[in-house]
Structure 1
Amino acid sequence: MKAVLFLFVLSILSTIPAFAADVSPPGENNTVHVTELYSDIESFDVTLYSTQPEENLSFEVLLISSERMRERTLDRQVLLLGSFPAGVEVRKVGFWNVSNPERGAYIVRARLLDGGQVVSELEYNFAYGSSSAPKLQVNDLVPNSQGISVALSPKEASLFDIEYMLISGSDVVYSTKSEKLSLTSAPDIFSAPWGTLLENNKEYVGRVKIQTYSPQREFISSSERFTARDDAEITYIYEDETGASATVFGRSQVPFEGNLTFSVYGLAENSGNRTSGLIESIRARIPVLLNNEDETIEVAWNERLPEGVYRLEIELLGNDGDIIERRETIIESDLSAVSNVSQINDTDNGAVTPGENDEDGIPGFSSVAGIIGLILVSVFLRKTRR
């Protein structure tokens, strides 16, 4: 009989939409107040607004089990707000620490405190574990350094909104919203990139809040933690006996400030791909990259590689000097080593090839003409003195 009565009460609660009720002290003209509150059994979010700047405010949130008309506090979260700007909505998110929650009715009571005095208060009611399943189900949620993706499956055809949130601590550092999305019968994946910079090796929370409208307004939320990492990949390389280049593609909202290392090794003859030794290594800095940005880095060898086959190794180094990717390829040079050396020696010795400075192509013609001219001038001067 008790089980039947419990299911009856729970079915009644499930038909009542979750809602927030303002229970702020009446008759007070507060400059700051709680404007919106939402919670489920895992997390909550709250929106605050003030008409003038405030300092040293705190925020207390209670998760209360309302069982058989008796209230029992299950968890308490306190957030320090610090400086509070005027005319700007501030979003905060918290996470409940409740293990093995029971099915039933819950109350979330949010209190805004100024020096221990309650200046604004809001309550939110919801039911957990009801037999009435939501119209949409979150199958998977994957946030990373690029953005966030959620896989949804419909119970029935639905129109809905998704708000994507990036959370650091209790602060919503970035949010974006997609409206009037739809699912009919098949599951689908919805994604959004982060529109803000992330810090390398810092932990964040990716959260989605989904709102459906009929037959009544309902919310579904889901959250996952992740650590932001700098990331990039090599998408294209080019190489020859004069130098090499590599195109790097950014894959993170952590600013990528890494390097590329180009190393050329000789290959020993008749030994397959066995390396005979390092010939040259060049390290080049990559301009700062963000997600979906690319840059091409070019380097030139100190000298053209003589005829032969070489192994080129390219390493992509991250912000911390770690190797993110390594690529190898072959350089095949057709440049003869003998001809290359002879050209360099001729240039260093100042040798002049026949006809280089002679318009007539006769070796020494300019020198002979100069000598004859000097003799004629000398004879003319002697005659003049006489």
Structure 2
Amino acid sequence: MKAALFLLTFYLISVFPASASENSHTGETSTAYIADLYSDLESFDVTIYSDQPENNLNLEVLLVRPVGTNEEMLDRQVFSVDSIPANKQVIKVGFWNVGSSERGAYKIKAQLLEGNKVLSESEYNFAYGTNSASRLQVNDLVANSQGISVALSPKEASLFDIEYMLVNGSDVVYTTKAEKLSLTSAPDIFSAPWGTLLENNKEYAGRVKIQVYSPDKEVISSAERFTARDDAEITDIYKDETGASATVYGRSQVPFEGKLIFSVYKLKATSEIGNSSLVESVQQRVPVLLNNDDETVEVAWSHRLTEGIYRLEIELLGNDGDIIEHRETVIESDLSQNSSVSLVNNTTSETETSDEKGIPGFSAAALVSGLAAIFALFRNKI
């Protein structure tokens, strides 16, 4: 019985060998290995994993095309893998530099190296321009400082997953995944915001990787580069003769650290909007904003605006001092100059008025003297 079991096991191993050509791990002491590999003629990604920290490794990736019995190398890229945390995936993304795209079969070969020693290697075969059309089609892709959006149209009803990637150089610095999405007949847009901070004026790439599971596993990807910018907008304004406020709404994952400038101009004639003189200008810092944050900034004029029509200009400045938005509105004040003076002397007026609101024709001293005389009169009669 034991002999029969041994022969059966040996037969199964020989019939179903391990796919060493697709993925192999050869490091003796290192636990780092290539866990996943994907490529098309636009870009590729390599997922590296280790169950213990690893440092100072290199990743070599080749794009080749079969030519007869040989292979033609189309592109070669080498990346440094400075560190791999324990039990955490590290994803490297690259973009191919292929002059002309010819239909046919292609192969990507990846090797994870420690010095000259190969720790792990993997291969991925794919085809370009074949007659087998994808069940999903990427119509458009937009990546910016807020997030990433992809427009998809189905050729037939499909269930799929989308992995959204933010790429800095060759490193995936943020990734999120939406699973079990569906399209039946109409195109739709799928989006994700970046869940990490971006650096102002820095170039990134947004990338989507879409996987359809049935009837056959199929993966398509698309990417777009963008430069991260600080961005915000004014959504609401309040103003009167005492001051003004503006609500600022953040529209970027670059921390917005801008300013608001409120400038008030007195119009000399309502029919001559351009004929005005500056009354006051106030600058205020906007609290730090990220995408979908909002803050209201208030200012008070040094003096209440007297009767007349005023033009209020509000400028929103970005991190670099550039004008992001310029808004204009008017303030109409009914406060006369005399009213303004009386308001300034309000405390004195109220004190004087309170004295005048006593018994008419009598002072406090006269009232006391009168009461004392009446009291003395009654006392003598008693």
Q: TM-score normalised to the size of structure 2?
A: 0.86
SS at match of 1:24: strand
**1:356 aligned residue:** 354
Q: CA deviation at 1:68?
A: 2.1
**1:255 aligned residue:** 255
Q: After superposition, what is the alpha-carbon deviation per residue over 1:317-364, rounded to whole angstroms, capped at 9, x for unaligned?
A: 1111111001100100011112212443576xx567655247734588
Counterparts in 2 of 1:1-386, with a 5 A limit?
A: 21-24=21-24, 28=28, 30-269=30-269, 271-344=271-344, 354=352, 356-357=354-355, 360-361=358-359, 365-366=363-364
Q: After superposition, what is the alpha-carbon deviation per residue over 1:195-248, rounded to whole angstroms, capped at 9, x for unaligned?
A: 111111111000000001122101000000001111111111011111111111
SS at match of 1:339: helix
Structure 1 gaps of 5+ residues are 1-18, 377-386
SS at match of 2:354: coil
Q: Contact 1:232–1:256 at 8 Å: present in 2 too?
A: yes
Q: How far apart, in 2, do the equivalents of 1:148 and 1:154 lie?
A: 20
SS at match of 1:340: helix
Q: Contact 2:199–2:254 at 8 Å: present in 1 too?
A: yes
SS at match of 1:292: coil
Q: Contact 1:231–1:318 at 8 Å: present in 2 too?
A: yes
Q: How far apart, in 2, do the equivalents of 1:175 and 1:334 lie?
A: 57
Q: How far apart, in 1, do the equivalents of 2:270 and 2:32 lie?
A: 81
CA separation of 1:76 and 1:363: change in aligned 2, threshold 3 A: farther
How many equivalent pairs are there? 352
Q: Contact 1:59–1:81 at 8 Å: present in 2 too?
A: yes
Q: How far apart, in 2, do the equivalents of 1:290 and 1:198 lie?
A: 10
**2:5 aligned residue:** none
Q: How far apart, in 2, do the equivalents of 1:356 and 1:173 lie?
A: 71
Structure 2 gaps of 5+ residues are 1-18, 373-382
Amino acid paired to 1:247: T
Q: How far apart, in 2, do the equivalents of 1:283 and 1:314 lie?
A: 10
Q: CA deviation at 1:45?
A: 0.5
Amino acid paired to 1:224: E
Identity of aligned residues (%): 66
Q: Contact 2:27–2:118 at 8 Å: present in 1 too?
A: no
Amino acid paired to 1:43: S
Q: CA deviation at 1:256?
A: 0.8
Q: CA deviation at 1:271?
A: 4.0
Q: How far apart, in 2, do the equivalents of 1:258 and 1:118 lie?
A: 50
Q: How far apart, in 1, do the equivalents of 2:66 and 2:345 lie?
A: 94
Q: Contact 2:25–2:33 at 8 Å: present in 1 too?
A: no
Q: Contact 1:41–1:96 at 8 Å: present in 2 too?
A: yes
Q: After superposition, what is the alpha-carbon deviation per residue over 1:233-278, rounded to whole angstroms, capped at 9, x for unaligned?
A: 1111011111111111111111111111110000012642123210
Q: Contact 2:25–2:119 at 8 Å: present in 1 too?
A: yes
**1:380 aligned residue:** none
Amino acid paired to 1:85: P
Amino acid paired to 2:221: S
Q: Contact 2:42–2:95 at 8 Å: present in 1 too?
A: yes
**1:383 aligned residue:** none
Q: CA deviation at 1:160?
A: 0.7
Q: Contact 2:230–2:253 at 8 Å: present in 1 too?
A: yes
Q: How far apart, in 2, do the equivalents of 1:132 and 1:25 lie?
A: 33
CA separation of 1:215 and 1:343: change in aligned 2, threshold 3 A: closer
RMSD of equivalent CA atoms = 2.3
Q: Contact 2:270–2:309 at 8 Å: present in 1 too?
A: no
CA separation of 1:352 and 1:361: change in aligned 2, threshold 3 A: farther
Q: How far apart, in 2, do the equivalents of 1:136 and 1:227 lie?
A: 28
Q: CA deviation at 1:85?
A: 1.8
**1:14 aligned residue:** none
Q: Contact 1:139–1:151 at 8 Å: present in 2 too?
A: yes
CA separation of 1:338 and 1:206: change in aligned 2, threshold 3 A: same
Amino acid paired to 1:365: S
Q: After superposition, what is the alpha-carbon deviation per residue over 1:258-309, rounded to whole angstroms, capped at 9, x for unaligned?
A: 1111100000126421232100111111111111111111111111100111
Q: How far apart, in 1, do the equivalents of 2:183 and 2:349 lie?
A: 80
Q: CA deviation at 1:91?
A: 0.9
Q: How far apart, in 2, do the equivalents of 1:354 and 1:63 lie?
A: 93
CA separation of 1:20 and 1:41: change in aligned 2, threshold 3 A: farther
SS at match of 1:132: coil
CA separation of 1:218 and 1:265: change in aligned 2, threshold 3 A: same
